[in-house]
Amino acid sequence: MKIAVIGTGYVGLVAGTMFAKVGNNVVCVDKDQDKINLLNQGKVPIYEPGLNQIVLDAQDDKLIEFTTDINKIKDCKVIFLAVGTPSAETGEFNLEFIKTAAKEVAQVISETSDFKVIVNKSTVPPGTMELIKKILNENSNKNFAVVSNPEFLKEGKAVDDFESPDRIVIGTESEEAKEILSQIYEPFSLKRKKLIFMKPVEAELTKLFANTFLANKVALINEFAKICVGFDADIMNVRNGVCSDRRIGWEFMYPSVGYGGSCFPKDIRGLVHSVNQKNINTRIVSSIDTSNREHKSHLAEEIKNYLADKGGITGKTAAIWGLTFKPRTDDMRESAAIDVINFLLANGAKIKVNDPKGMENAKKIFGEKIQYCESKYDALKDADILVLLTEWSVYRSPDFEEIKNNLKLPVIFDGRNIFDPDRLNNLGFDYIGIGRKYLR
């Protein structure tokens, strides 16, 4: 089938590439000429494990084309929208990219009489499919159906998630569109039926509920982490006791410096805005973002408190391991590292950072304000403290002797609870994690 994908970011590029991998002819359109140039040289502009080779294979097989020219989608039967929906200042979803993309698609499809299916993959507030439909109706020949098909892939595991999704949610009223989407997704649901059909607005809400649920799990365990420290308990012991209950489980129940990334923060804020506009009263949904914002700065406050009787934070150097919002991605959008580093800088600390994939994106945020180190041990030179913020596997089993020989103060702040506090105490470190504090 001939498929178009508008927007070649984390979602659009993965979707387009995977549709090509199973034999479709795919046109990927993006406004960003640099991105398209890179892709046409066989280079992937983001870090996503496994993706580069699949792009190269699809290019070799002539199944994928990258272009800035929207007119190239004219022959495509199905057009996916995968453009960004960032937060506006007010917290609501900024739908400018979606609206523009819908208008551009409408203009192109108005030049043909063929039936088209327009599928939205971007995460949007409930009711956006109606808006897209209206834009298409006003600007095209009306021979189309619309589908809301939210994306659930996880950065860092996007290829596997797309190839083998838990479910494929299809929100549409059109039988023809259902049939076409079933064909497209057949290769991705071979083992069992994965397609779940519903109304477009229900599909939009499914995505928002799923992200709210997951974000809430993170916020809840982080609140319990604070409670544990208040009662001199270790959250990791409490977590073992709690998560072994199969009704609760282990997934997304990990104490941390707070969730970040391009989805949870903006999706929760956007949902709250939509809900408020409808005068729907919520208590849990409306407090998750506030709770998470506090968690993002909590570790930085702990650092400040710890250093208070050691000459204060001003002039101290913090070695930071990990910048991305999670491992296996280069994405720094809304990463807790931004909050922690900004807090430390504002309090007069110097910062040395290392991250396996995030340093280029970090440079766009911090510029010359911090020092970028090629190796994790380089970051320790002349540092007073070590702060771990992303649980990349390269940080999991470091040479603690080397860390101790370098740090002026033997203390590790573990924003992901990956180290063993007793072991660190025995090696002569103070250890402050999330929801557990082991001072010697």
Ligand X SMILES: NC(=O)c1ccc[n+]([C@@H]2O[C@H](COP(=O)([O-])OP(=O)(O)OC[C@H]3O[C@@H](n4cnc5c(N)ncnc54)[C@H](O)[C@@H]3O)[C@@H](O)[C@H]2O)c1
Binding site for ligand X (CB under 6 A): 6-12, 29-32, 35, 82-85, 97, 100-101, 104, 121-123, 151, 153, 155, 262-263
Q: What's the order of all strands across the beta sheet hosting 78-81? A: 64-67, 25-29, 2-6, 78-81, 116-120, 144-148, 168-171, 195-198
Taking the CA atoms of residue 210, residue 212, residue 218 and residue 222 in that order, the dihedral angle to the nearest 10 degrees is: -160
Contact 357, 324 (CB under 8 A): yes
User: What residue is closest to ligand X based on CB?
Assistant: 9
Q: Name the residue nearer to ligand X (CB basis): 239 or 328.
A: 328
Q: What distance lies between CA 101 and its chain's CA centroid? A: 22
In the complex, least distance from residue 274 CB atom to ligand X, rounded to whole angstroms: 14
Q: Which is nearer to ligand X, 100 or 425 (CB)?
A: 100
For ligand X, the closer of residues 11 and 27 by Cβ is: 11
- Residue 331: Cβ-neighbour burial (10 angstroms; 0-12, 13-18, 19+): buried
Q: Shortest approach of ligand X to residue 93 CB, angstroms?
A: 8
Residue number, 155 or 384, with CB nearest to ligand X: 155
CB of 341 to ligand X, least distance (A): 22
> Among 28, 76, 228, 263, which one carries the catalytic annotation?
263
- Name the phi and psi angles at 80, rounded to 5: -90, 135
| Cα dist from 106 to 74, 99, 140, 356, whole Å | 10, 10, 5, 42
Shortest spacing between CB 21 and ligand X, in angstroms: 18
DSSP state string for 194-227: -EEEE-HHHHHHHHHHHHHHHHHHHHHHHHHHHH
Distance CA 280, CA 31 (A): 37
DSSP letter string, 109-136:
HTT--S-EEEEE-S---TTHHHHHHHHH
* Cβ closest to ligand X, residue 34 vs residue 175: 34
Task: Based on the residue annotation, tell me whether 28 is a catalytic residue of this protein.
Answer: no
For the CB of residue 150, give the shortest distance to ligand X in the complex, in Å: 7
**CA distances in angstroms from 413 to 227, 345, 410, listed in the order given:** 18, 17, 10
C-beta neighbour count of 396 within 10 angstroms: 12
For the bound state, the minimum distance from the C-beta of residue 427 to ligand X, rounded and expressed in Å, comes to 37
Question: Alpha-carbon distance 100 to 324, whole Å?
Answer: 30
Shortest Å, Cβ 366 to ligand X: 20
Residues 138 and 229: their CA atoms lie apart, in Å, by 58
DSSP for residue 167: -
- Residue 429, both tokens: 């470190």
Whose Cβ is closer to ligand X: residue 257's or residue 263's? 263
Look-up of token digits 């999706």 = 267
* Residue closer to ligand X, measured from CB, 12 or 358: 12
- Residues marked active site are found at 263
